[in-house]
Amino acid sequence: MDALSVFSNPHRFMAASKPFAWGFTILGLLVVAWGVYQGLYIAPADFKQGDAAKIMFVHVPASWLALFIYAFMASASFISLVWRSPLADICAKSCAPIGAAFTALCLATGSIWGKPMWGTWWEWDARITSVLILLFIYLGYMAIWAAMETQQKASRAAAILCLVGAVNLPIIHFSVDWWNTLHQTSTFLTDKPAATSEYRWPMYFTFLGGYLALFGGLTLLNMRAEVFLRRAELIIQRRQSAA
């Protein structure tokens, strides 16, 4: 059984995905918990920001994941439009609530950090505003799925919105370079990162081993739930037609 056949056939997908769904979820939770522990209790206070900098162990991976999930969702939407893959539809739909949750977590933790650093909970900064727009796109995508009459119409409309909304990703990434913003420039993903090794390596490990695994596990769980739901709806329709 090759990977392509698994992701093109819902029956094979359901058979193969169960151990990975729970395995990735549990692994992700454990690694994220380790990363939060490292941030709160092991990493030293920053010499400029003090203990307030430790919220970066939650804020930074959440912001990275919010962008990664949307890019992943846009890729699935493109596959859905071009090849009409039902599992690509399900994958994109399953990613959306997870991406919205991490985007909201990014904004919330950023506001908590901004209060002692900037003296305000919120600022209409280019980076912050573009991330807020990303959250609205996530919510709009989910609203389309809930509002359309049929899955076919919803999947097409949602996929188009997702691909159009992908224009916001480079705006978010380069906003601190294109405009004079209050938000600081990149601290970790640079040739010469400003963060010390006590912050960098736990951050990278937590994101790569924890947040990505958690995203993979939760996405697979959501996909399995969606497949079960569509099967149940199909059975109900068949029974109603036969009655």
CA distance 39 to 203: 8
> How many CB atoms are closer than 10 A to CB 142?
16
User: Dihedrals φ, ψ of 132, to 5°?
Assistant: -60, -40
> How many CB atoms are closer than 10 A to CB 198?
14
pLDDT, tens digit only, all 243 positions of the chain: 454 455 567 778 888 898 999 999 999 999 999 988 888 788 887 777 777 778 888 888 999 999 999 999 999 999 999 988 889 999 999 999 999 999 999 999 999 988 888 888 888 999 999 999 999 999 999 999 999 888 889 999 999 999 999 999 999 999 888 877 776 666 655 555 556 677 777 888 888 889 999 999 999 999 999 999 988 888 888 888 876
Integer angstrom CA distances of residue 105 from 25, 33, 98, 109, 147: 18, 16, 11, 6, 26
pLDDT for the residue numbered 100: 98
pLDDT for the residue numbered 7: 58
Integer angstrom CA distances of residue 117 from 51, 164, 167, 183: 11, 34, 30, 11
pLDDT for the residue numbered 1: 45
Cα atoms in the 13 Å half-sphere on the side-chain side of 163 = 13
Going by C-beta distance under 8 Å and a sequence separation of 6 or more, which residues neighbour residue 68?
212, 215
**81 alpha-carbon distance from chain centroid:** 21
pLDDT for the residue numbered 118: 85
pLDDT for the residue numbered 214: 96
CB 206 within 8 A of CB 31: yes
CB 104 within 8 A of CB 69: no
pLDDT for the residue numbered 168: 97
pLDDT for the residue numbered 204: 83
Q: Where along the chain do its domains lie?
A: 20-242
* pTM as predicted: 0.90
- First vs last C-alpha separation in the chain: 39
Among 113, 102, 100, 101, smallest CA distance to 39 is for 113
